[in-house]
Amino acid sequence: MLSQLAHNTEPSRVRLCPGCELPVDVIAVKQGKTAYCPRCGSELYRGGRPTLSGNLAIALTCLLLFIPSHFFNFLSIRLFGQMIPATLFTGVSTLFNEGYIFLSLLVAFCSSLAPLLVCGSVVTAHIAMHTHSFKLLKRSLWIVHHLKHWVMIDVFLISVAISCFKLQDYSDIHVGTGLYGLVLLQLFTVLLVTRVNIRRYWEGYKHESEFPFEHKDIQCATCHLSQPNAPYCVRCETTLAHRTPNSIAKTWGYLVAASIAIIPANLIPISILLTNGKRLEDTIFSGVAALIKNGMSGIAIIIFVASIVVPVAKILGLSYILLAVKFKRRIFHRQRMTIYFVVKWIGKWSMMDLFVISIMMSLVDRGQILDFTPGYGAVAFGIVVVLTMLAADSFDPRFIWENYNQSNSSKTTPTQQEPFNE
């Protein structure tokens, strides 16, 4: 591919696309624009002028907001004449104490630990750059890159709203200070995740102009430096490979396991509610039907899409891509890349039902007339969520373009758009 471009473009101006390895002339990008690969749509260059010091300020703000958002009550209900407060840790600890260890760890990781690690790693990345600590910088940026998709405070906030609708028929609901902290934390974490660009940190450490290569054949998946073929990256020392080793096998393994787990996740009750001596067991489908019956059609649609449509769509979408790669399909490469982008983005929204269960566990006092507990279907559903997200993360999208006919693509300059949130 590179040979077609090298005759007309200086090697220093060439950057290989991380999604399809197309050589692109990045100097053609206008100032203030965000560049995308003309073939697969992957982001090549982020426009605007966001400063690294701005990322540091936002990360420190997020760390400060963890105190009110996690240790103050975000909701309280009056049940049997008693006020029952709920913090973010209450539901996690209740799940853990009731024996649902996997669910408690999953909820804690997605709602608290992953955001904390991402924000903290941005801070340590700045410390590493200031002290010229290569190992600390590499580890910090690895955490940011791999965990930012697991930051789900936005999903948790929507789950809080759904829980309020479910509980409004049983008790009065009072908003606490912690909820305002959660809203602010969500706004700043979204801003941080949107702004942070791993490439810019590596460029700040060692700019690509310091590596005057005569040709570029491979893209480093860690620091995004385009360079000649070699065993290791010259900047971050990561092992180089045109395709992630065992990517296809790992993705198939995760998908097969998720396809098996999704059966009990939909057949076994996901929640059990005891009210006035009646035991109400709800699967995902029956829970959606109950919401529609109670006039909460909007909430029912959200739960149906997040808990049923999204997991199935992720499994079918990735299976279609893997089968197309297996049988070397020569058409619709861009469409398969779009499916991959969508699967990566929608993955976290399946956590909504599990967050609702955690919130309900913290608010509904167990052992009273009104009693709430998760069913084993929730455990199976949590396994489905984790496996499908791991499947999307393990797949290397460059496999989609292995048999692409180069004559179909004559463009070598990136498409340009206004910078997004920059």
CB 223 within 8 A of CB 233: yes
According to CATH, the topology of domain 1-49+206-220 is: Rubrerythrin, domain 2 (2.20.28)
The domain 243-405 is placed in CATH, from the list 1.20.140, 1.10.3710, 1.10.10, 1.10.3720, at 1.20.140
Separation between Cα atoms, residue 292 and residue 154, nearest integer Å = 24
CB 39 within 8 A of CB 401: yes
Distances in Å between the Cα of 190 and the Cα atoms of 24, 59, 119, 148, 252 are 29, 11, 11, 10, 31
pLDDT tens across the length of the chain (422 residues): 333 343 444 556 778 888 888 888 766 556 567 778 888 888 877 766 667 888 999 999 999 999 999 889 888 887 666 778 888 888 899 889 888 999 999 999 999 999 999 999 999 999 999 999 999 999 999 999 999 999 999 899 999 888 888 777 667 788 888 899 999 999 999 999 988 889 889 988 998 888 888 888 888 988 988 889 889 999 999 999 888 889 999 999 999 999 999 999 999 999 887 776 677 888 999 888 888 888 888 888 988 998 999 999 999 999 999 999 998 888 888 899 999 999 998 988 989 989 988 888 887 755 555 677 888 999 999 999 999 999 999 999 999 988 776 544 444 555 544 333 33
Half-sphere exposure of 189 (CA within 13 A, CB side): 35
Q: What share of the chain is helix, strand, coil (3-state, %, to 5)?
A: 60, 10, 30
Q: Kindly report the backbone phi and psi dihedral angles of residue 164, in degrees, each rounded to the nearest multiple of 5, phi listed first.
A: -65, -40
Separation between Cα atoms, residue 383 and residue 344, nearest integer Å = 17
What are the residues whose beta carbons fall under 8 Å from the beta carbon of 325, sequence distance 6 or more?
Answer: 248, 399, 400, 402
* pLDDT tens, residue by residue, 345-390: 898 898 998 998 888 888 775 555 567 788 899 999 999 999 999 9
Q: The pTM is what?
A: 0.86
Of 154, 387, 166, nearest to 282 by C-alpha is 166
Domains 1-49+206-220 and 243-405 share a fold: no
Residue at token pair 């936002």: 58
- Parse the chain into domains and list their residue ranges: 1-49+206-220, 50-202, 243-405
